[in-house]
Amino acid sequence: MDTTKSRFLLLGLAVVGLGIVLGTALWLKLEARPQFGFGGGESDDRLKLYGSVPEFALTERSGKEIGLAKLRGKIWIADFIYTTCTDTCPLQTAVMAKLQEEFAAKPEVQLVSFTVDPERDTPEVLSQYADRHQADRKRWYFITGQRDRIIRLIQEGFHLSVATLPTDGDANGMIPHSPRFVVVDKETRIRGYYDSRELDALSRLRSDVETLSK
């Protein structure tokens, strides 16, 4: 009897230990700093360069195609969400709504939200979601498109983590993805990453956007 109990105890400890290891690995994957090195030194005071956003062709909630040409000449704040998300996405969208209000007098500042669930987040769904958050159609884009194009853009263009397939979501239907905002300058160069859950990071985002707009 004691031997059987010991075996069950050891098995239980092994399962818990494996869960901790896998959970830690996933956390590190999603929370890792951007792996792309600085490109070309610094400018605009302390702002660094993290490379440039590559060309892309996706679909805005209006149903029209949108690419880099539409955003060139703007200072844009990008984030990555999906409309059924109950984790960090509501916070991210609330922050974006606040930024829309704060930068209302700066037409050069554009907000851009990319869905990581394009199969369900059609232009119609994104439009309804955007309207609920009073998103200005000219100042705040919501972008969807082919999954492989969006995943490649996020991973290779913005150097952030996101689940590669819908089945990568957990049992609750959640899609692991980065909670970071990205600031891109008028030349489509990435200038900073900001964790949506950290007040200091959001203060830095506001300051950096102000610096780029001068």
Give the pLDDT band (50/70/90) at residue 170. Answer: low
Amino acid 8: pLDDT:
47
Give the pLDDT confidence of 86-95 residue by residue, as tens digits.
999 999 999 9
- On whether the 57-213 domain is CATH 3.30.413.10, my answer is no
Kindly list the domain boundaries of the chain, sorted by start residue: 1-31, 57-213
- Kindly state the helix (H) or strand (E) to which residue 181 belongs, with its residue range: strand 180-184
Cα dihedral 58, 63, 69, 73 sign: negative
**Distance (Å, whole) CA 74 – CA 155:** 22
Residue burial 98-130, b: 16+ Cβ < 10 Å; e: rest? ebbeebeeeeebbbbbbbbbbeebbbebbbebb
Give the pLDDT confidence of 191-200 residue by residue, as tens digits.
999 999 999 9
